[in-house]
């Protein structure tokens, strides 16, 4: 949270197969690679709210119980 991250590349989470909770909220993320979450099979909670996303990849997020995307106004416009 609040780390001024701008993008999430493929392989960013490589080796974190047991990661369950990930908070990427309140950064400046505008781009997430399509396969950035592909190897995160154990993740259950993802908070990526208040960023600058225009799209959101879902590969690898089948086990999510909670997804927070609030405050991504550019994403809202893209889905409208």
- pLDDT for the residue 64: 95
For the whole model, what pTM was predicted? Answer: 0.88
pLDDT tens for the chain, residues 1 to 80: 678 899 999 999 999 999 999 999 999 999 999 999 998 889 999 999 999 999 999 998 999 999 999 999 988 666 65
The domain ranges of the chain are 1-80
- pLDDT for the residue 79: 60
| Helix/strand/coil (H/E/C) assignment for every residue in the chain | CCCCCCEECCCCCCCCCCCCEEECCCCCCCEECCCCCCCCCCCCEEECCCCCCCCCCCCCCCCCCEEECCCCHHHHHHHC
- pLDDT for the residue 41: 85
Q: Which of 76, 75, 80, 78 is nearest to 30 (CA)?
A: 75
């Amino acid at each position: 949270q609040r780390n001024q991250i701008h993008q999430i590349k493929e392989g960013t989470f490589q080796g974190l197969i047991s990661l369950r909770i990930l908070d990427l909220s309140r950064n400046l993320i505008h781009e997430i690679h399509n396969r950035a979450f592909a190897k995160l099979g154990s993740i259950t909670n993802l908070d990526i709210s208040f960023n600058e996303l225009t799209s959101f990849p879902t590969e690898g997020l089948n086990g999510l119980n909670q997804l927070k995307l609030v405050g991504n106004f550019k994403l809202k416009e893209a889905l409208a």
